[in-house]
Amino acid sequence: MTGKREVIVVADADALATTAAERLLARLPPPAMPPPLPSPASGGGVKRAAVALTGGSSPEGLYRLLAQEPYRSRLPWERVHWFIGDDRFVPPDDPLSNMGMARRLFLDRVKAPPANIHPMATTAESPEAAAQLYESELKHFYGAERLDRARPLFDLVLMGLGSDGHTASLFPGAPALDELADLAADRRERGKLLFVALLRRAAKKLRDPEGVRVEGHRRSDAVVL
């Protein structure tokens, strides 16, 4: 992670989806590889990659592409684990579920291994409980209680941007933007919809930040470089 900012401007939504798909593939191991070697990042087991997905309308074109050729055959499905950056506190089959959308558009269509899909527990008794469960799952996957700067949690984090500047259910000025104690927390935004979001400490621990996907003039106005 170099910290260097890069702005890529494309012509339209289709070009955005294609560019995002190519960049995602460039950061993952190819499907055909020699027998995997032990990896510290996977606790000494099979080398694997972790991707944090995003919700909203921005990634829909990307997700559809990933379920189609040639991308479908180029992804190492057995080696990639899919997390979600934020989700609404609704059942997984609810149309408002972010992970539900990702599953409908590509994960279920390509038959990604069920053990490699890590949704938030949005059927837990409360958003607070869902956040605690997800934090425990992230720590278990990572193999340690504390994050090591030299060993990122995610290989890639996809993020969208709302016209009001929010990303991952975190809105400008929200106290959670400065939260360093937890990896996930419940958020109450946008009326009565409840969200569970990965917090900054988790999102920062990635091998290669993909940054923010912005589509349309209203959203681009929210970007400050």
Kindly state whether residue 164 falls inside one of the protein's structural domains: yes
In the chain, how many domains are there? 1
Q: Are 145 and 136 in contact (CB under 8 A)?
A: no
Q: Is residue 148 part of a domain?
A: yes
- Integer angstrom CA distances of residue 118 from 59, 103, 141, 225: 18, 11, 10, 32
User: Which tens digit of pLDDT belongs to each residue from 112-124?
Assistant: 999 999 999 999 9
- Which CATH number is 59's domain given? 3.40.50.1360
Residue 95 neighbours by CB distance under 10 Å: 8
Q: Would 38 be classed as within a structural domain?
A: no
CB crowding 137-167: b at 16 or more within 10 Å, else e: bbeeebeeeebeeeebbbbbbbbbbbeeebb
pLDDT tens readout for residues 64-95: 999 999 999 999 999 999 999 888 889 999 99
